[in-house]
Amino acid sequence: MLEIIIYSAIIGIIGGGCIAAGAARMFHAPEIQSMGAFRTLGELNACNGDPIAHFSFGLGFFFSSAASAVAAGSLSQDVLHRIVPNWSAAALLVKNKKVEETLHNPRKMMVAGAIVGGVLVVFLNTLSSIIPEKLSLIASEVLTPATTWLLNPVMPAIFWLAAIDAGKSTGLWGSILGGISALVTGNAVPGIVLGILIGKSAEENGYKSKVVQILIAIVVVMFIAIAYFRGFFDQFML
């Protein structure tokens, strides 16, 4: 047990600190090279700097991650991609609600992420190690389907509504790319997030902006490449 705690603390501190700092750096692109996932950026923005929203969002994935740890004995990607960044942001925003000084600060986010990651990974791994095998089987059969429902279609629906609420152009791009992403990858969220980025950029800078044109070109090439390597075109022609 002591060995699990020590290793978990090391992994959680290093991983949590790096992930949280990387998420904060994304707010400074392109002046500073970003380090993070588009979905993490979109989810952090969706909470609008509200500590309760950040905590609640992470809490929803905490239960599903705990179920995954108990059932499968492994940590889901949501631990670092969703829970750590949002709980780190919530911890910083409680005292100071200026996102420029908290959520957008890589150094403060790294410290908060290291603390949250260390505690979180230790708790989940310890929980997984002490759960009897029979309870683990129950969790796998009952809680895992619930997690699947949360990720698809609940999460795509939430992001799609957010895109529509952000404006006509953003809603249009979110709907189109979300539909394409659902067909190609089976998950609409990445496409909707990219649609929000393109739509907002187009609303602020116009379609003649080189940044918008380059972003559209990158997204088009990316989806074509993903579709090709996943064999989408072959299946579509059948």
Both 223 and 111 in a single domain? no
Confidence grade of residue 51 (pLDDT, cut at 50, 70, 90): very high
> Which whole number is the average pLDDT over 65-72?
76
> Which whole number is the average pLDDT over 51-71?
85
Both 193 and 225 in a single domain? yes
Both 83 and 1 in a single domain? yes
Q: Which residues of 50-69 are buried (b: 16+ CB within 10 A; e: fewer)?
A: ebebbbebbebbbebbbbbb
Residue recorded with tokens 């996102």: 99
pLDDT (tens digit, 9 = 90+) per residue, 27-37?
Answer: 887 777 767 66
- What was the pLDDT predicted at 76? 83
- The number of distinct structural domains making up the chain is 2
Q: pTM for this structure?
A: 0.62
Confidence grade of residue 213 (pLDDT, cut at 50, 70, 90): very high
Both 70 and 159 in a single domain? no
Confidence grade of residue 143 (pLDDT, cut at 50, 70, 90): low
Whole-angstrom distance, CA of residue 49 vs CA of residue 186: 30
Confidence grade of residue 207 (pLDDT, cut at 50, 70, 90): very high
Confidence grade of residue 15 (pLDDT, cut at 50, 70, 90): very high
Both 154 and 51 in a single domain? no
> Which whole number is the average pLDDT over 58-86?
84
